[in-house]
Structure 1
Amino acid sequence: MPEDQNTDVPPNRLSVDPRSDFYSEEALSRDVGIRFNGVEKTNVHEYDVAAGWIRVEVPTAKDRRGNPMVIKLSGEVEPFYRQAE
């Protein structure tokens, strides 16, 4: 069996916020993609595979510190590394 994405999977929890405990520059530099309920999402701020949720940014809303607002959605989360083309 050739090596594929099954042997090289992203972390079970990851955040794009450098202040988070789940931030990993190494994983993010490898271009992590997220499928949520079978649909690829590009605006994911944080995810947790075990708990089955993602946090997505709301593009028009900001919090009082100027950071994008995020909402939590529950469902099937499938992280993957995008292939270099």
Structure 2
Amino acid sequence: MNDTTERPALPDRLSVDPSSKYHVRAVLEHAIGIRFNDKERTDVEEYCISEGWIKVAAGKSLDRKGRPMLIQLKGKVEVYYV
């Protein structure tokens, strides 16, 4: 990765699911770090900074479309480029 390239601003809400309206491919092309309640998280599927929540997979259960079932956790969310 070239550090001279311009990175897009991090959105308030972002999802890794391509079918979501909150999926922003330009942002996800870069490495993103997420700190939730002062702990690093690597399993986040979706986040919202202003509302203070993240969504993570709930074990190995899948929904009817084969995607992981998600649970929402509330707390302090910090997002940054790595």
TM class, shorter-length: 0.7 to 0.9
Contact 1:9 1:79 in 2 (8 A): no
Aligned Cα RMSD in Å?
A: 1.3
SS of alignment partner, residue 47 of structure 1: strand
Partner of 1:66 in structure 2? 66
SS of alignment partner, residue 26 of structure 1: helix
Instruction: State the one-letter code of the partner of 2:56.
Output: V
Partner of 1:53 in structure 2? 53
Contact 1:36 1:75 in 2 (8 A): yes
Q: CA deviation at 1:28?
A: 0.6
Percent of residue pairs identical: 45
1:22-37 correspondence to structure 2 within 5 Å:
22-37=22-37
Instruction: State the one-letter code of the partner of 2:43.
Output: N
C-alpha distance after superposition, 1:18-77 (max 9, x if no partner): 111110111011111110000011110000000000001124111122111110000000
Partner of 2:43 in structure 1? 43
- Alignment partner of 1:16 is 2:16: yes
Distance 1:39 1:57 in 2: 17
Q: CA deviation at 1:9?
A: 5.0
Residue-pair matches, total: 75
| Structure 1 gap segments, 5+ residues each | 1-7
SS of alignment partner, residue 14 of structure 1: strand
Give the TM-score normalised by structure 1: 0.82
Give the TM-score normalised by structure 2: 0.84
